Amino acid sequence: MRRKIGWLLIAVGLLLILTPLLGKGYGYYSQFLMRQELERDKRAAGPAALAPETPPCIRPPFLLTIPAISLEAVVVEGTESKALSKGPGLDARGVYPGMPGNVIIAAHRNVFGAWFRELDELQQGDEIFISSGGKKITYIVESVQTVPDDDLSVLKPSASSSLTLITCDLPVSSGRRIVVRALPAET
């Protein structure tokens, strides 16, 4: 009986150890597949994709690049758990990049790929790029703030174009969120 309990405890321990690793592995594998798809789409579109479009509306999946924190991740549609397990998610309360309004992207900081783990390290003036199929939009960080979980004012629609990146503050039970607000770069 003791031996069975011992093996059961070992199995439970392994399961507890492997679960986060499998989740992170799934996130990275999903990102790998989506990047390949973006590259195929870019090659298939050819030079026509490089022609300027006004406005350059970009729909998921698209690439989010933040050089200041060495982030390059494919953004997916939606913020439900299944979507966020694959990468940062475009929140339905916002608009698509390139449209007037607030583009809202959420991601985890501590599970799956932990895409926004260093989001709080951004500073005013840092660049954020959103690109897909030869289209590219540059945003400049305006502010980085920590707000209470129940402060939804950061998700409100806006008349002008803006980008809001949002994640939890650590520890997760702190009841606070990190919010980065960025504006399109002047061209």
What value does the CA radius of gyration of the chain take, rounded to a whole number of Å?
Answer: 19
What is the C-alpha separation between 111 and 20, in angstroms, rounded?
7
Could you tell me which residues come within 8 angstroms of residue 86 by beta carbon, excluding any fewer than 6 positions away?
26, 27, 30, 31, 34, 74, 76, 112
Give the chain's end-to-end CA distance (angstroms, integer): 73
Catalytic (active site) residue 45: no
Which residue in 88, 105, 108, 137 is the catalytic one?
108
Amino acid identity of residue 59, one-letter, is R
Catalytic (active site) residue 21: no
Which residue in 168, 178, 179, 182 is the catalytic one?
168
Which sequence positions are flagged as catalytic?
108, 168
